[in-house]
């Protein structure tokens, strides 16, 4: 009996210690120079500000980019799609329980879309604008499908609100 109680106590202490360590690491990332993989980060502390728009075709086959919202200040890594010189960032799973708990940045971006996009150490000031209807949306969804999903993304994903798509416009 005392062995089981001791083992239970050890497991409980280990779980609490692991949770505290992960929580502290997640909190500390809020002060980091950008995100680390899927973990959100703090304000960009490095990079060269570029005010002229480049030819965005160079991100056509890039898997991810980093962006930082200005209000509230936080940064993350995201997929990116380029179509006809326009760039888009998607946010899926918005209608799922996981999405409702995990994804707060899209609501912040919709309220105040000021953002910074960082690619290869260059920072581009942007305005994130949610797009629900656009003549190019089918092509943007096809590009997301080509790069990440491997099957067609139906327009109903956008119209139902499950997939939010933001265009990154110059500021």
Domain ranges within the chain, ordered by starting residue: 1-30, 48-170
Look up the CATH architecture of domain 48-170.
Roll (2.30)
* CA–CA separation, 124 and 21 (whole Å): 34
Top-confidence residue, 101 or 9: 101
Residue 9 has what pLDDT? 75
pTM for the full predicted model: 0.84
Question: Per-residue confidence at 3, pLDDT binned at 50, 70, 90?
Answer: confident
* CA–CA separation, 112 and 44 (whole Å): 18
Q: What is the mean pLDDT of the chain?
A: 89
Does 29 score more than 60 pLDDT?
Answer: no
Question: Per-residue confidence at 17, pLDDT binned at 50, 70, 90?
Answer: low
Averaged pLDDT for residues 112-116: 98
Neighbour count for residue 115 (Cβ, 10 Å): 24
Output Rg (C-alpha) for the chain, integer angstroms. Answer: 19
Residue 19 has what pLDDT? 60
Structure tokens at 149: 């999903």
Averaged pLDDT for residues 130-158: 96
Question: Per-residue confidence at 27, pLDDT binned at 50, 70, 90?
Answer: low
Question: Per-residue confidence at 24, pLDDT binned at 50, 70, 90?
Answer: low
Does 22 score more than 60 pLDDT?
Answer: no
């Amino acid at each position: 009996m005392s062995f089981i109680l001791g083992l239970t106590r050890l497991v409980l202490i280990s779980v609490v210690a692991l949770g505290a360590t992960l929580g502290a690491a997640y909190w500390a990332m809020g002060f980091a120079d950008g995100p680390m993989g899927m973990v959100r980060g703090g304000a960009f502390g490095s990079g060269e500000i570029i005010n002229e728009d480049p030819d965005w075709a160079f991100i056509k086959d890039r898997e991810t980019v980093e962006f930082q919202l200005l209000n509230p200040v936080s940064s993350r890594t995201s997929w990116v799609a380029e179509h006809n010189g326009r760039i888009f960032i998607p946010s899926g799973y918005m209608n799922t329980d996981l999405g409702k708990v995990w994804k707060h940045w899209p609501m912040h971006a919709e309220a105040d879309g000021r953002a910074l996009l960082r690619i290869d150490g260059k920072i581009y000031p942007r305005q994130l604008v949610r797009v629900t209807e656009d003549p190019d949306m089918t092509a943007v969804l096809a590009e997301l499908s080509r790069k990440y999903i491997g099957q067609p993304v139906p327009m109903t994903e956008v119209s139902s609100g499950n997939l939010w798509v933001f265009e990154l416009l110059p500021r």
